[in-house]
Amino acid sequence: MNKSFRYKLNIFLFLLPALALFVTILIAPIVMSLMYSLTKWNGFTTPEFIGFKNYVELFTSKSINISRALKNAFLLALLSCCIQLPFALWLALRLARPIKGKTALLSIYFMPVLISTVVIGQLWLKIYNPDYGVLNVLLRAVGLEKWTQIWLGDKKYALGAAFVPILWQYVGYHMLLMYAGIKGVPTELTEAALLDGCTPSQVNRYIIIPYIRPILRVSVIFAVTGSLKSFDLIYVLTNGGPSHTTEVPSTLMISMLFLRNRYGMGSTIAVMLIILCFFFALVINAVFKEEK
Domains and CATH numbers, the chain: 37-119+171-287 (1.10.3720.10)
Closest C-alpha among 275, 231, 236, 277 to residue 253: 231
Answer yes or no: is pLDDT of 54 > 50: yes
Closest C-alpha among 281, 289, 89, 60 to residue 172: 89
In this predicted structure, what is the pLDDT of residue 102? Answer: 87
289 — pLDDT class (breaks 50, 70, 90): confident
Which residues partner with 49 through β-bridges?
39
Residue 180: C-alpha distances to residues 13, 96, 214 (Å):
34, 9, 12
Residues belonging to the chain? 292
In degrees, rounded to 5, the angle at the alpha carbon of residue 78 between the alpha carbons of residues 151 and 281 is 135
For the residues 177-199, what does the mean pLDDT come to? Answer: 90
What distance in Å separates the CA atoms of residue 190 and residue 211, rounded to the nearest whole number?
A: 11
pLDDT, one tens digit per residue, over 256-286 is: 988 889 999 999 999 999 999 999 999 999 9
Instruction: Indicate the pairing of strand 48-49 with strand 39-40.
Output: antiparallel
171-183 vs 102-114: helix axis angle to the nearest 10?
Answer: 140
Answer yes or no: is pLDDT of 98 > 90: no
pLDDT, one tens digit per residue, over 216-261 is: 999 999 999 999 999 999 999 998 888 889 999 999 999 998 888 9
Q: Read off the DSSP letter of residue 40.
A: E
Answer yes or no: is pLDDT of 290 > 70: no
33 — pLDDT class (breaks 50, 70, 90): very high
CB 55 within 8 Å of CB 37: yes
292 — pLDDT class (breaks 50, 70, 90): very low
High-pLDDT (> 70) share of the chain, %: 99
8 — pLDDT class (breaks 50, 70, 90): confident
1 — pLDDT class (breaks 50, 70, 90): low
In degrees, rounded to 5, the angle at the alpha carbon of residue 133 between the alpha carbons of residues 149 and 155 is 30
Q: Mean pLDDT for the chain?
A: 91
What distance in Å separates the CA atoms of residue 141 and residue 86, rounded to the nearest whole number?
A: 32
Neighbours of 89 (CB within 10 A): 24
Alpha helices in 129-212, H assignment, sequence order: 134-141, 158-169, 171-183, 187-195, 200-203, 209-211
In degrees, rounded to 5, the angle at the alpha carbon of residue 255 between the alpha carbons of residues 48 and 35 is 30
What distance in Å separates the CA atoms of residue 162 and residue 127, rounded to the nearest whole number?
A: 12
